[in-house]
Amino acid sequence: MIKLVCIKAFHVGLVFENGNLFKVLQAGKHWISGSKLVEIYDMTLPFVPAQNLQLLLRNEELSKCLDIITVSEEQVVLRFVNNRLHTVLPTGQYAFWKLGLDNKFQTVDISNYKIKNEIPKHILENRLMDLYVRKIKLDYFQKAMLYIDQKFDSILENGTFYWWNNTQNISFQIIDTRVQLLEINGQEILTKDKASLRINFGLRYQIKDINKLVSDVKEYEKQLYSIFQLALREYISTLTFDELLIKKHEVSFDIEKQVASSVSDLGISIVDCGIKDVILPGEMKEIMNKVLIAEKKSQANSIMRREETAATRSMLNTAKLMEENQMLWKLKEMEYIEKITEKIEKVSLSGNGNILSQMKEMFSK
């Protein structure tokens, strides 16, 4: 029995007889005897046969129709279709039809974590590469310490960096080069006169030498905190409570000078620092409030005494001038009469004109 097999364009037929590949059919119509089996494949797709690929490749006609791609360990193959990245092939063997799509292949060695310039950036950014590429993006204010297999490798400036995702361990520590804030809060310290205080201290710093952080320093923030904490405790313990209140704004300069050498060894520069709060315990706070009230009362009494003394001295000087000058006396009398008349609405005079004469005599003397 004979049957007709139609092969569409961009398709191929494989004819099998007794399990062996007998013939390759191109597009068109073909008469096949009934005992033969025909498998049809789309040439725009990878060739994934049901039988063992190596056995099929023994057929020279089929072998000439295929591109065989073998990907070893620590390799990937980039498959481009019409010059666009289409697939990333991991370790394995693959077959593609030569007469199908416009396939191009690029074999890449990923045994070394470094990516060569032959791979353009837009390819590395393609989502198909996410499983095979590690990357880090650093802003303009950031730097990073790169470690390969737990060993320091280099310092990365701002920008985007890529590495192959292979068996090598890659890690990094990002460093912010902007001015940063460190707060040392709730430090309970005894002053020289045994006053118990709780102090909040703050400082602003900036990383200047990353090489020192890499070679000599571990956990630089904790070390910076410890340096200032110890310096603050040592400095406050040399002052009495009253001296601390007086020198509160000088503490920052003295402490910064005291720790300058240690901070420089960390590769860090101090922008400024200072005491934010001095918190007193309850009993001490009540005592200070009482002292403050007493001081304010004393100041108020002193001011009142000065004012009274000044007023008395002014009155004495006025009396002396009036005693020496009768005209000033008369003017003072007129001033008082004017003030008295301002307080009353109406003045009634009686005495047959004698009051007017008396007033006239009084102001003409």
Cα 92 from Cα 76, distance rounded (Å): 9
Cα 57 from Cα 63, distance rounded (Å): 5
Tracing tokens 């009993």 back to the chain, one arrives at 283
Range of the domain at 190: 180-279
Q: Which residues contact 63 (CB under 8 A, 6 or more apart)?
A: 57
Do both 228 and 149 map to the same domain? no
Q: Is residue 114 part of a domain?
A: no
What pLDDT band is residue 133 in, cutting at 50, 70 and 90? Answer: very high
The yes-or-no verdict on residue 84 having pLDDT over 70 is yes
For the chain, what is the domain count?
A: 4
The yes-or-no verdict on residue 252 having pLDDT over 80 is yes
pLDDT of residue 331: 66
Q: Is residue 317 part of a domain?
A: no
Q: Among 64-78, 203-217, 316-330, which range has the highest average pLDDT? A: 64-78
Do both 94 and 17 map to the same domain? yes
Do both 187 and 248 map to the same domain? yes
Do both 18 and 42 map to the same domain? yes
Do both 133 and 89 map to the same domain? no
pLDDT of residue 99: 85
Q: Is residue 232 part of a domain?
A: yes
Query: pLDDT tens-digit profile of 322-359?
Result: 666 666 666 666 666 666 666 666 655 555 555 545 55
Do both 341 and 353 map to the same domain? yes
pLDDT of residue 290: 63
Q: Is residue 235 part of a domain?
A: yes
- Long-range Cβ contact pairs of 322-327 (< 8 A, separation 24 or more): 326/365
pLDDT of residue 353: 52
Domain CATH for 190: 3.30.479.30
C-beta separation of 98 from 58 below 8 A: no
* Residue where a domain stops, chosen among 50, 82, 109: 109
| % of the chain residues with pLDDT over 70 | 82
Do both 36 and 97 map to the same domain? yes
Do both 199 and 184 map to the same domain? yes
Do both 222 and 244 map to the same domain? yes
* Residue where a domain stops, chosen among 176, 197, 214: 176
In order, the DSSP letters of 126-169 are: SGGGTTTEEEEEE-TTEEEEEEETTEEEEEE-SEEEEEE-SSS-
The yes-or-no verdict on residue 286 having pLDDT over 80 is no
Q: Is residue 117 part of a domain?
A: no
0.75 exceeded by pTM: no
The yes-or-no verdict on residue 257 having pLDDT over 90 is no
334 against 254, higher pLDDT = 254
Q: Is residue 237 part of a domain?
A: yes
Cα–chain center distance at 197: 32
Query: pLDDT tens-digit profile of 170-183?
Result: 998 888 889 999 99
Specify the range with the lowest mean pLDDT, choosing from 191-195, 285-289, 319-323: 285-289
C-beta separation of 155 from 138 below 8 A: no
* Residue where a domain stops, chosen among 150, 176, 202: 176
Do both 141 and 237 map to the same domain? no
| % of the chain residues with pLDDT over 90 | 30
Task: Compute the average pLDDT of residues 196-207.
Answer: 88
Q: Is residue 304 part of a domain?
A: no
Do both 135 and 220 map to the same domain? no
Q: Is residue 346 part of a domain?
A: yes
Do both 142 and 209 map to the same domain? no
H helix runs in 247-352, sequence order: 251-265, 282-324, 326-342
H/E segment holding residue 356: helix 354-364
What pLDDT band is residue 97 in, cutting at 50, 70 and 90? Answer: very high
